[in-house]
Amino acid sequence: MTNYPIANPLKNTPPYPFAEVDKLVANLKEQGITPIDFGVGDPTSPTPDFVVAAGQASLAGNTTYGYPANFGTPEFRTAASDYMKRGFGVTLDSDTEIAITNGSKEAVFHYAFCHVNPGDTVIIPTPGYPSMKNGVRFCGGDPFYVSLKEENDFLIDYESIPQEVVDKAIMIWTQYPNSPTGASPSLEWYKGFYTWARKNNLIIACDEGCYIDMYFKDKPHSMLEVGKEGVITFYSLSKRNNMTNYRVGFVAGDPELVGLFKKVKLNVDSGVINAAQDAAIVALDDDIHFQEMNQEYAEKQTILLDAFRSIGLEIRVPDATFYVWQKAPAGMTGVEFAKSLLVPEIGIVCTPGEWITELDYEGFNPSTKFVRFALMPALENVQVAADKIKQLTHV
């Protein structure tokens, strides 16, 4: 094997956690077992027909396009602005306060390059989306992990963060509605958090738009409802409209922060294919389809939670997202519980919480007792999984 030099951030990056889930699925399939896979949150339902049709028409009608507009077509940015106004009452200038992204993962990762220099501290919730920490690490920054704890309803306890850390930090990430916990803060929480962050001169980066339209109780809020100064939010159509393959979303917020993002974006990609933008426009304009999906996710959620309740497990109904953040049986860790579901006669795949959680600044892992179920299997397979869970006798 050639001893090529490897950049330190890459050398010190563990495997992407869901690669481990893929291995577990492969192991079951090698035994001739088709598992019921709740591991990875990649929708298996099709993209809505009207969205596909818009993309097809765009491809057929525009065969001479060169590179796409790097920040999004005016039509796309207007659709994004209209969506934010309609859904959250937030007025945004589509020229200066919105820019298209290649989905959320790339945008969240690259945003660190706008601000983070080697040695800079960025406050990051855990569990949370890996791209938040990885972008900071690849810039040479220092992630400071703050646990999302059950006793705080999985909300960031920002007032408990040591002031000496707050004083040296340049930015704080949030991710609500939260993957994996399903928590969604109240507007009052956002107001308190925003006031605290502005007082401490922290940039607020919010990965909020992946699951913000997937809710079962009150409609989730956007940070931009509270304030725009010092705030940038990240949105994606991947889960809202089953468009993971299209790689399209947008950032919105403080025009200075959006402007810095644009400057980085010019240097790392060549824009989003116009057909995906045109498909996204009709997706953003529609407020019906995602509500229909929410009804299906709610039905799956109820089936699964009822199964856990029937075997005596403590349950918590998520506010939002298509995840169930389930506490393991007493005396078991999340890893042990997940492995107990992988025996051939059960064949259920889920993700142990500690696989997707960092130790916080006190050396604590808040997810050791939890597993994550992504409600991706078909409804009938969720029922099959629930029936198998109800037969468990070792919990």
- The answer to whether 205 and 111 are in contact (CB under 8 A) is yes
DSSP string computed for 96-140: TSEEEESTTHHHHHHHGGGT--TT-EEEEEES--HHHHHHHHHTT
Angle, CA 19 vertex, CA 24 and CA 120 arms, to 5°: 145
Q: Kindly indicate the confidence band of residue 29, based on its pLDDT and cuts at 50, 70 and 90.
A: confident
Q: What is the pLDDT of residue 32?
A: 84
Is the whole-model pTM more than 0.85? Answer: yes
Distance CA 24, CA 389 (A): 19
Least confident of 22-36, 78-92, 247-261: 22-36
Provide mean pLDDT across the span 203-222.
95
Neighbouring C-beta atoms of residue 33, cutoff 10 Å: 16
Assess whether the previous peptide bond of 74 is cis (omega < 30° from 0).
Answer: no
Say which residues have a Cβ less than 8 Å from residue 265's Cβ, sequence separation at least 6.
70, 71, 99, 101, 110
* CA atoms of 135 and 148, how far apart (whole Å): 20
Does the pLDDT value for residue 17 go beyond 70?
no
CA distance 103 to 256: 21
- List pLDDT tens digits, range 149-176: 999 999 999 999 999 999 999 999 999 9
Query: Strands 169-174 and 121-126: what pairing?
Result: parallel
Residue 372's SS3 state is strand
DSSP 320: B
- The residues, any chain, with a CB within 8 Å of residue 97's CB and separated by 6 or more, are 81, 228, 252, 253, 254, 255, 258
For all residues of the chain together, what is the average pLDDT? 93
pLDDT band (50, 70, 90) for residue 393:
low
With bands split at pLDDT 50, 70 and 90, how would you rate the model's confidence at 327? very high
What contacts 324, CB < 8 A, 6 or more positions away? 182, 301, 304, 305, 318, 372, 373, 375
213-235 average pLDDT score: 96
16 band by pLDDT with thresholds 50, 70 and 90: low
Q: Provide the CA 92 distance to its chain's centre, in angstroms.
A: 23
Cα 24 to Cα 312: distance, rounded to the nearest angstrom? 27
What phi, psi does 386 have (nearest 5°)?
Answer: -60, -40
